[in-house]
Amino acid sequence: MPTVTAPPTSPYQSAYDSLASQSAQQPAWLRDLRRNAMQRFAHLGFPTARRGNEPWKYTSVAPIAQAALAHDAAAGAATLAHLKRLAPWRDAWPRLVFVDGRYNARLSSCDSLPRGVRLHTLAHALATDPAALEPHLGHIASWTDDAFVALNTAFLADGAVLIIPPGAVLEEPVHILHVVTDGAGAIAAHPRTLVLAGDRSRAAIIETFVSASGAAYFTNAVTEIVAAPSAQIAHAKLMLEGAASYHVGGTCVRQAQDSAFTSASISSGAALARNNLAILLASPGASCNLSGLSLTAGSQHLDNTLSVDHAAPHTTSRQIYKGILDGQSRAVFVGRVLVRQGATKADAVQRSKNLLLSRGAEIDAKPSLEILTDDVRCSHGATAGELDQSALFYLMSRGLPRDAARSLLVQAFASEIIQSLAIAPLRTWLDRRLALPLAASHAEVPA
Amino acid sequence: MSPSPLLQVAGLRASIAGKEILKGVDLTVHTGEVHAIMGPNGSGKSTLANVIAGHPAYAVTGGSVRYRGKDLLAMTPDLRAREGLFLAFQYPVEVPGVRNSQFLRSALNAGRLHRGLPELELKEFNKLLKEKMALVEMNPSFTTRSVNEGFSGGEKKRNEILQMALLEPTLALLDETDSGLDIDALRTVSAGVNALRRADNAIVIVTHYQRLLDYIVPDFVHVLVDGRLVRSGGRELALELEREGYERIRQAVESAQPAKS
């Protein structure tokens, strides 16, 4: 007799059932949304890396599907000192802190926000002003065709909500910080962020996922951003999860006329991670500038999948993603640009550059353009290579030891992304944070 | 008896991608001397300079190189540099993303640490850098730019001599430093090199043309043809080559050798 395995969704179903019974106070529309999303997840199941399943062709999430994860664990203890050691920090930054998936009021601070700007937990916003969320929550990130978004939506309970009124300008970036404590074990968290940026508003948002835990925990995050006309939003995602963890994160952005969205996605953590970034340039004049840097080593697997939908004329997109791969790690870059019919004068550039520091590392880079209209300017390209040997010799010929020369060249490769970060304080922090793993991994490379 | 040489190259053979370029080179350099290695294109001049500096693309297949009494070929390129060897590149490499000043300071401090000296603090370094940049008449804006990125040919060569001025090598190899320089840049670069001439260091100039030697006057001139030093002499040999070209020397060398089968 063949072995019969339980459907992989069943642990999630029981976790959902127990959560559903506790959330009777949620508005009816949300309970409906969550129930539908759970049904959808049960139907879709976890995606499989097989031919014909294009979005998941290069990434197997079997380890996540098979993981035994706790949905009801209590949060561990974290201190400000702990956070400052792990994450970029300015006391002036308004922040919401989530520890082991739970909101921590003591570590959070929303003091320095301009008048009218609302930064709350999702639970608070749902309890006090659900009508403000209803048109947007679950509508930007599609849960009907993505199992992870469906799962996150099914477990919608808490997260961050940032509502910026028209014309408001935030001088300091808002930091949404997710930290998993060392003792948390194999937990699952499904945090949700919703950003509603009003007309002509300006703001920067940092989402940090960080941990020093060695546990195989799972973060399944979804961020929805709505940029109203002429809004200027800078978003940075720092994915610095624990070494044995799994991270799937979807960031979905809808941009109105003349809005500008800047994204920087920096990834160096997790054993298995997938960053989805989906931009809808819905109206004329909308533009986005998407940059990414990933550092992988050991047996890490990191997948950056981007899609930019030029749905209106005079829309602009820029993508520059860089990967630095060491050890036996594997990275994936899939960038899809769609220029719809009628989206004339669309202007799209896609670039993927990858540096392979070891023979065992592997990159799948697949930029793609789908152009359904004439009169557009689009280009794409992908490169992968080793360190420039002539540059290495040049630096060594001036007395720099091999490891120092390598480290300098790797940092130089990364600097194009780091130095272009819209949020300036992140530059120095990342320079220092990323230099450490680089120096450590080079020491292991034989001359 | 003369003091022990700074550099002693004996029977040096080297190849690149399986093709032998140097076929037994002998060269002795003492401190206080300036040597010029001249020769036609493809004779192996740049190979000689690069092999001495330790370029990994070349394989040494025979002979020996002693530098300050030590086996130079056993040293890594970076160790050679920290021991006071310097190669001014014919084609300086662009290194996008590495700031020139950061690179120069790292290089200088690597050498200082090697000699048991403390690292230069940023302030002291900047003062020294300013002084040396004046020597090669380099615009201060070049310190904040990436190493050689977008520099003109002349700017790259000035940057090489700037590095030489900062690192104060015991043995400097200048590989076609005059190529791509207009007359003003040539004067500046030469003046920079001449200012670095001392009784306790030596310079080996690799050049195709005699022109540079009007500005940096050598004590010895050697002619390299087909991977061998075929003639050595004083300053006058360079002038003879300028007058008569390499062809005569090549013919003289070929007629003196048995024909290749």
DSSP class per residue in A325-347: E-TT-EEEEEEEEEE-TT-TT-E
Q: Which of B167, B159, B169, B171 is CA-nearest to residue B205? A: B171
End-to-end CA distance of chain B: 43
pLDDT value at residue B1: 47
Facing residue for B97 by CB, picked from A396, A404, A413: A413
Q: Is B134 left (phi over 0), alpha (psi -120 to 50) or beta?
A: alpha
Angle of CA points B198, B92, B221, to nearest 5°: 45
State how far residue B111 is from chain A, nearest Cα, in angstroms. Answer: 6
State how far residue B176 is from chain A, nearest Cα, in angstroms. Answer: 16
Q: Which of B182, B185, B124, B184 is CA-nearest to residue B159? A: B185
pLDDT value at residue B131: 93
Contact (CB, 8 A) for A50 and A170:
no
Distance (Å, rounded) from C-alpha B178 to C-alpha B184? 11
Q: Which of A55, A254, A95, A282 is CA-nearest to residue A177? A: A95
Q: Which domain holds residue B170?
A: 7-256
Amino acid at B58: Y
pLDDT at A153 over 90: yes
Instruction: Give the residue ranges of chain B where pLDDT is below 50.
Output: 1, 260-261
Q: What is the pLDDT of residues B139-197, one digit of tens each?
A: 888 888 999 999 988 899 999 999 999 999 999 999 999 888 888 889 988 998 999 99
**Count: domains in chain B:** 1
pLDDT at A88 over 70: yes
pLDDT value at residue A446: 38
CB distance A400–B106 less than 8 Å? yes
Cβ-Cβ pairs closer than 8 A, A with B, add up to 79
Which residues of chain B lie closer than 8 angstroms to A391, CB-CB? Answer: 93-95
3-state secondary structure of B117: coil
Distance (Å, rounded) from C-alpha B115 to C-alpha B109? 10
Overall average pLDDT of the A218-238 stretch: 98
Which residues of chain B lie closer than 8 angstroms to A414, CB-CB? Answer: 97
From residue A293, give the alpha-carbon distance in Å to each of A73, A114, A352: 32, 32, 10
pLDDT at A5 over 80: no
pLDDT at A4 over 60: no
Q: Which residue of A has its CA nearest to B102?
A: A408
Question: Among A21-30, A59-68, B233-242, where is mean pLDDT lowest?
Answer: A21-30
Which residues of chain A lie closer than 8 angstroms to B106, CB-CB? Answer: 400, 404, 408
pLDDT at A297 over 80: yes
Confidence of residue A7 (pLDDT cuts 50, 70, 90): low
Which residues of chain B lie closer than 8 angstroms to A388, CB-CB? Answer: 93
State how far residue A306 is from chain B, nearest Cα, in angstroms. Answer: 26
Facing residue for B97 by CB, picked from A390, A404, A416: A416
Residue B261 CB contacts under 8 Å (≥ 6 apart), including other chains: none
The percentage of chain A sitting over the pLDDT mark of 90, rounded to a whole number, equals: 84
Which residues of chain B lie closer than 8 angstroms to A408, CB-CB? Answer: 98, 102-103, 106
Of A135 and B3, more confident: A135
Q: Which of A309, A392, A382, A385 is CA-nearest to residue A348? A: A309
Q: Does residue B261 fall inside a structural domain?
A: no
CB distance A399–B146 less than 8 Å? no
Q: What is the pTM of this model?
A: 0.86
Confidence of residue A444 (pLDDT cuts 50, 70, 90): very low
**Of the spans A20-24, A27-31, A281-285, B213-217, which averages the highest pLDDT?**
A281-285
Considering only CB atoms, which residues of chain A are within 8 Å of chain B?
388-391, 393-402, 404-405, 408-409, 411-416, 447
The residue extents of the domains of chain A are 10-283, 387-447
What does the DSSP assignment read for A360-381? T-EEEEEEEEEE-SSS-EEEEE
Q: Does residue B2 fall inside a structural domain?
A: no
Interaxial angle between packed helices B235-244 and B246-256, expressed in degrees from 0 to 180 and rounded to the nearest 10: 100
Distance (Å, rounded) from C-alpha A277 to C-alpha B48? 53
pLDDT value at residue A440: 54
CB distance A397–B167 less than 8 Å? no
CB distance B110–A399 less than 8 Å? yes
Q: Which residue of A has its CA nearest to B49?
A: A397
Query: What are the backbone dihedrals phi and psi of residue B196, each rounded to the nearest 5 degrees, phi first?
Result: -95, 0
Rg of chain B in Å (alpha carbons): 19
Residue A374 CB contacts under 8 Å (≥ 6 apart), including other chains: A344
Confidence of residue A51 (pLDDT cuts 50, 70, 90): confident
From residue A68, give the alpha-carbon distance in Å to each of A71, A202, A216, A273, B136: 10, 42, 9, 17, 67
Q: What is the mean pLDDT of chain A?
A: 92
pLDDT value at residue B258: 59
Q: What is the pLDDT of residues A355-413, one digit of tens each?
A: 999 999 999 999 999 999 999 999 999 999 999 999 999 999 999 999 999 989 998 99
pLDDT value at residue B259: 52
Facing residue for A412 by CB, picked from B56, B78, B98: B98
What does the DSSP assignment read for B135-150? HTT--GGGGTSEETTT
Domain CATH for B190: 3.40.50.300
Structure tokens given for A236: 């940075």
pLDDT value at residue A2: 45
Facing residue for B81 by CB, picked from A391, A399, A414: A399
Residue A243 CB contacts under 8 Å (≥ 6 apart), including other chains: A214, A269, A270, A271, A298
CB distance A412–B96 less than 8 Å? yes
Candidates B106, B148, B164, B166: best to mutate against A (most CBs of A within 10 A) is B106
Distance (Å, rounded) from C-alpha B120 to C-alpha B115? 13
